[in-house]
Amino acid sequence: MKPAAFDYVRPANLSEALQALARYGSKGKILAGGQSLVPMMNLRLVRPEVVIDINRLPALDHIRVEGGELLIGALARHSALYDSPIIAQHFPLMSEAYRHVAHKPIRNRGTLGGNVSHADPASEMPAVLLAGDAMLLASSSNTQRRIAAKDFFQGPLQTALKTDELLTEIRIPVAPAGRGYAFEEEATRKGDFALAAVAVLLDVSGGACAKAAIAVAGMGDCATRLREVESSLAGKLINDDAIVQAARTAKQSVTPIASYHADVEFKRDLVEALTARALRRALARCK
């Protein structure tokens, strides 16, 4: 399965990359890790006329903390994030989620920015960024803007990025001490795309829920926050009954799209099971 022919451009810096995007518009496609794009090109599901290879762009793969925020460059490779002690300390939800993401060779090449720009409905990281209330920074040749994660993911393989925009950085508020977290996923095999995945962040005060962020992926549409479940937990005593109830609410609140591997009822069952498990483990981690 060989890809269709294309022209190849390899910008040396961000400015050149953005000019290329402006110039080629919808004829151009950004190539970062390529782990999502190239299979689609090989299958001729996509056939960009111009491939803009941004792998040599300097200073876009940073992982650091600054001013209470975790700053991740869009070109940071999954493998770097997987191994990063900074992520483990300041956003352990992401570290845990990474245990479910693909495999080493894919993580070696794939980038967080590329992954979220592609926005596969069964991908884990969009749910993680949604739960973490991430801010995504996008640039074009003449603009820069910040897009909240909740506005960024708009549909299956659809984001808020315009054709001439490139994602440059992802910012996540650093977790306060004592925050609980858990990521649960069911996939057909370890490392496969999620049939369902639930990301939970939980702050508890005196046994009651001060803040809950629950995001789900794998439903067929884009990853979403389960606001109904979060509201139902706000201020409540978090015991096992509350968790069971919250899981049931989660099951009812999702609108899965059936796929070959999972019908609608099965996805709902998974959301219920995974939400309960994630809440239990997150609670156990709360201090």
Partner 1 sequence: MAGVTINLRVNGTATTRTIEPRMLLSDFLREELELKGTHVGCEHGVCGTCTVLLDGQSTRACLVFAVQADGSDVRTVESLSKDGKLHALQEGFWEKHGLQCGFCTPGMLMAATELIEKNPNPSLDDIREAVSSNLCRCTGYYNIVDSIAAGIAKMKEASK
Partner 2 sequence: MSTIPKHIPAEGYIPPSRQREQPRSQYKYLGQNMKRVEDPRLLTGQGGYIDDIKLPNMAYAAVLRSDRAHARIKRIDTSKAKALPGVILVLTGEEAKKMTGPTAQFATPPVVQYCIAVDRVRHVGEAVAAVVAETRYIAEDACELIEVEYEDLPVVIDALESMKASGDAVLHPDRGPTNIAHQKTFTFGPVDDDFAKADKIVRRHLRWPRSGAQPLETVGAVAHYASGTGKFTVYCNTSFVNYVGFVIAGSLGVPAHKLNVIPVTTGGSFGSKLFTHKVITLAATLARACGRPVKWMEDRLDNTLSCDNHGSDRIYDCQLALKNDGTMLSLKFRVIDDYGAYLQFGYGTHGNSLCQVVGPYQINSVQMELIAVLTNKCQQGAYRGFGSEVTNWMVERMVDAAVDELKLDPIEFRRKNLIKPEQFPYVIPTGNLYDSGNYPAVLDEALRIAKIPNWKDVQAKARAEGRCVGIGIACCQERSVFSATEFWSLNPVDAANFTLTSSPESTHIRIDPTGNIQVTLGSPFWGNSPETVATQLVAEQFQCDPANINIVYSDTASGYNSTGPGGSRFTVMIAGAIVGASIKLKEKMLRIAGRMLEAKPSDLEFRDGKIGVKGVPGMEKTIGEVALFAHMFRLNLPDGDDYASGLDASYVYDHPLTTMPAADRSHLGIFYPIMGHMCHLALVEVDAKTGKVKILDYVAVHDAGTLVNPMTLAGHIRGGTAQGIGSTLLEQFYYDENGQLLTATFTDYLIPTLHEMPPQIRVGHVQTPSPFTEYGIKGGGEGGRMGAPPALSAAVEDALRPYGIKIDELPLTPKRVRGLVRAAEQGKG
Q: Give the one entry of partner 2, partner 1, none that residue 206 binds, where binding means its C-beta sits below a cut-off of 5 to 8 angstroms depending on kind.
A: none
Residues 170-229 binding partner 1 (CB under 8 A) are 190-191
Instruction: Name the token pair of 210.
Output: 């001060």
Q: Is 284 exposed, middle or buried (0-12, 13-18, 19+ CB in 10 A)?
A: exposed
Rounded Cα gap, residues 62 and 87, in angstroms: 12
Which residue among 8, 85, 235, 260 contacts partner 2 (CB under 8 A)? 260
Rounded Cα gap, residues 269 and 72, in angstroms: 34
Strand (E) or helix (H) holding 229: helix 227-233
Nearer to partner 1, 123 or 224 (CB): 123
Please count the residues of the chain. 287
> Contact, 216 vs 224, CB < 8 A?
yes
45 binds partner 2 (CB under 8 A): no
263 binds partner 2 (CB under 8 A): yes
Which residue among 69, 192, 203, 221 contacts partner 2 (CB under 8 A)? 192
Q: Give the one entry of partner 1, partner 2, none that residue 106 binds, where binding means its C-beta sits below a cut-off of 5 to 8 angstroms depending on kind.
A: partner 1
- Of 24-32, 161-169, 223-231, 257-265, the window that binds partner 2 (rule: CB under 8 A) is 257-265
Task: Quote the least distance from Cβ 130 to partner 1, whole Å.
Answer: 26
Nearer to partner 1, 48 or 121 (CB): 48
Site string (101-140) toward partner 1, x via CB under 8 A: -xxxxx-xx-------------------------------
Rounded Cα gap, residues 37 and 195, in angstroms: 21
Nearer to partner 2, 179 or 267 (CB): 267
Site residue total, partner 1 (CB under 8 A): 29
Q: Which of 177, 201, 175, 172 is nearest to 69 (CA)?
A: 172
Instruction: List, as one string, the DSSP characters of 91-131.
Output: -HHHHHHHTTSS-HHHHHH-BHHHHHHHT-TT-SHHHHHHH
Q: Give the one entry of partner 2, partner 1, none that residue 14 binds, where binding means its C-beta sits below a cut-off of 5 to 8 angstroms depending on kind.
A: none
Largest CA distance in the chain: 62
Residues that bind partner 1 in the complex, under the rule CB under 8 A: 1-8, 10, 31, 34-35, 38-39, 42-43, 51, 53, 55, 79, 102-106, 108-109, 190-191
